[in-house]
Amino acid sequence: MFRSAPNKASPKLRPEFLHDKTGVVASSNLSHDHPDRAAKEPGNGCVKAICDEDIDRMQTQEACGRTPVLALMHLARLKGWKAQLLDYRNSGDAAGDKDRVVGYTAGGFRPPAPEALAAPERKFLLDLARKSLKNAAAGLGLPELAAKDVPPKLAEQKACFVTLTINGALRGCIGHLTAIEPLYQAVIDNARNAAVRDSRFPAVTPGEVDCIKIEISVLTEPQPLAFSSPEDLLGKLHPNRDGVILRIGPRTSTFLPQVWEQLPDKAQFLNHLAQKAGCKTSAWRGKDAQVSVYHVECFEEGEGGA
């Protein structure tokens, strides 16, 4: 089964595909009734054709559901999605009978990663954050820019977090989970807020400014994560890649992907996230828990070119 990630749909597609959260699934066996060793070759040949996005080669494969897989591959080519292999097995791996097996695989097509910010754009944002931090600590107003002075990509609406640290210890972190203003303005606002409005810390003083390192995280749009049980949720989280939003009733909390470095165990990660939301550590296991995930482009002062 190959499942496509949601993406903006083409106006030529049927209405069912127009919603930006629509997923498309193609399901097929890959091979039939080969011995285990022989099954590896036709099965992997089919998997390689899919992962290489080779439509011509896929047309010659044994898969009985070749037509729906080809339809999805054509859609992926049209939308610019990239294939990702998750697993390959055959029935002998589960049932133990290696004489006549059926091949299966699982994977997905995803939109390509957003284009990364160039080094000058990162430096532009970090310099803005630094100016905002200095002004906030001194009780001055926020930096102001003329529209003509802002690189076009930084004028696009994006969500971001600004994190302040001193010698590696957190000194403030505030941001937006959804895009509500141009990225450059979000950086200005969140640098100020992290300095003087993070309720966990006293306001940054002028004497601390030079000791503070600034990190900016630019977020992708959060996507709801479907899961059927706490165990299923744990299995679907990707440490060091997923930022996680946890909603329990009216309470919400989030951890950026960087937090996995301090909390690499998935259950402990969610325990602390529930606690951050003001709930019991086990609340994420309840039926009313909802989870969304996002990814970040993260950069900080002192990196190459920034």
Residue 8, pLDDT score: 40
Q: pLDDT band at residue 4, thresholds of 50, 70 and 90?
A: very low
Q: Which residue has the higher pLDDT, 10 or 74?
A: 74
Residue 251, pLDDT score: 96
Q: Which letter does DSSP use for residue 10 in this model? A: P
Q: Is the pLDDT of residue 116 over 70?
A: yes
Residue 42, pLDDT score: 44
Q: Which letter does DSSP use for residue 248 in this model? A: E
Poorest-pLDDT segment among 28-42, 54-68, 92-106, 167-181: 28-42
Backbone φ, ψ for residue 115 (5° rounding): -60, 130
Q: Using one digit for the tens of pLDDT, what is the confidence trace for 261-297?
A: 999 999 999 999 999 999 999 999 999 999 999 999 9
Residue 202, pLDDT score: 97
Q: Using one digit for the tens of pLDDT, what is the confidence trace for 21-48?
A: 567 788 777 766 666 555 455 445 777 7
**2-110 and 223-296 share one CATH topology?**
no
Q: Using one digit for the tens of pLDDT, what is the confidence trace for 192-201?
A: 999 999 999 9
242-252: average pLDDT: 96
Q: Which CATH number fits domain 223-296: 3.40.630.30, 3.30.70.100, 3.40.50.300, 3.30.1490.150?
A: 3.30.1490.150
Instruction: Note whether 64 and 32 are within 8 A (CB).
Output: yes
Q: Is the pLDDT of residue 206 over 50?
A: yes
Cα 124 versus chain centre, distance:
24
Residue 26, pLDDT score: 82
**Comparing C-alpha atoms, which of 288, 292, 243, 237 is closest to residue 21?**
292
Instruction: Note whether 85 and 47 are within 8 A (CB).
Output: yes
- How far is it, in rounded angstroms, from Cα 203 to Cα 196? 4
How many CA within 13 A on the CB side of residue 126?
Answer: 23
Query: Which residues lie below 8 Å from residue 183, measured CB to CB, with a gap of 6+?
Result: 125, 153, 154, 155, 156, 157, 158, 160, 218
Instruction: Note whether 257 and 222 are within 8 A (CB).
Output: no
Q: Tokens standing for 141? A: 């107003």
Residue 14, pLDDT score: 54
Q: Is the pLDDT of residue 189 over 60?
A: yes
The superfamily in CATH containing domain 119-219 is: Hypothetical protein ph0010; domain 1 (3.30.700.20)
Q: Which fold has domain 2-110?
A: Protocatechuate 4,5-dioxygenase; Chain B (3.40.830)
Residue 9, pLDDT score: 39
Q: Is the pLDDT of residue 110 over 50?
A: yes
Q: Is the pLDDT of residue 254 over 90?
A: yes
Q: State the chain's mean pLDDT as an integer.
A: 84
7-18: average pLDDT: 45
State the residue for tokens 């957190």.
170
Poorest-pLDDT segment among 9-18, 31-40, 147-156, 171-180: 9-18
DSSP class per residue in 156-180: SB-EEEEEEEETTEEEEEEE-SS--
**Which element (helix H / strand E) includes 193?**
helix 183-196
Instruction: Note whether 192 and 166 are within 8 A (CB).
Output: no
Instruction: Note whether 289 and 253 are within 8 A (CB).
Output: no
- How far is it, in rounded angstroms, from Cα 276 to Cα 253? 6
Query: Which residues lie below 8 Å from residue 52, measured CB to CB, with a gap of 6+?
Result: 83
**Domain range summary for the chain, segments of one domain joined by +:** 2-110, 119-219, 223-296
**Which element (helix H / strand E) includes 135?**
helix 119-137
Residue 79, pLDDT score: 62
- Label residues 23-42 b or e (16+ Cβ within 10 Å = b): ebebebbbbeebebeebbeb
Instruction: Note whether 79 and 13 are within 8 A (CB).
Output: no
Q: Which residue has the higher pLDDT, 52 or 257?
A: 257
